[in-house]
């Protein structure tokens, strides 16, 4: 089953998207956006940049766990992964974004 995006609104009334793999696991989430249109532009940016290895950056949290971010051409962060115990599992997460990030499916879970 292919991956999909989900557009949702947080308790803070900001809009977010998450990218889910075909198995339903969340592989990347966005920052908050003030408008739905801006969040949808973020989805479009994932689709555009997910195939470019140079747009991914692996980072290490203070607790030693790894995570990655996907950046746009202007170097702004588009989305961020969950925390991974190893570099190898982080690499698998990036590969999943590369496979699923071009999905045309975007489920709108907002109320408007």
| Cα–Cα distance measured from residue 20 to residue 6, given in angstroms and rounded to the nearest whole number | 8
* Domain locations in the chain as residue ranges: 4-108
The Cα-based distances of 78 to 23, 73, 112 in angstroms read: 22, 10, 23
pLDDT at residue 48 in the model: 96
Q: What is the CATH number assigned to the segment(s) 4-108?
A: 2.30.29.80
Six token digits for residue 13: 């009334």
pLDDT digit of tens for each residue in the chain (112 aa)?
689 999 999 999 999 999 999 999 999 999 999 999 999 999 999 999 999 999 999 999 999 999 999 999 999 999 999 999 999 999 999 999 999 999 999 999 998 7
């Amino acid at each position: 089953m292919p991956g999909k995006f989900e557009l949702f609104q947080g308790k803070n009334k900001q809009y977010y998207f998450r990218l889910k793999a075909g198995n339903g696991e969340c592989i990347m989430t966005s920052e908050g956006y003030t408008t739905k249109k801006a969040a949808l532009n973020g989805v479009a940016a994932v689709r555009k940049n997910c195939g470019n290895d140079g747009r991914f950056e692996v980072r290490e949290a203070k607790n030693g766990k790894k995570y990655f971010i996907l950046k746009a051409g202007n170097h702004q962060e588009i989305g961020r992964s969950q925390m991974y115990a190893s570099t190898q599992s982080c690499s698998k997460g990036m590969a999943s974004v590369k496979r699923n990030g071009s999905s045309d499916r975007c489920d709108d879970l907002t109320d408007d």
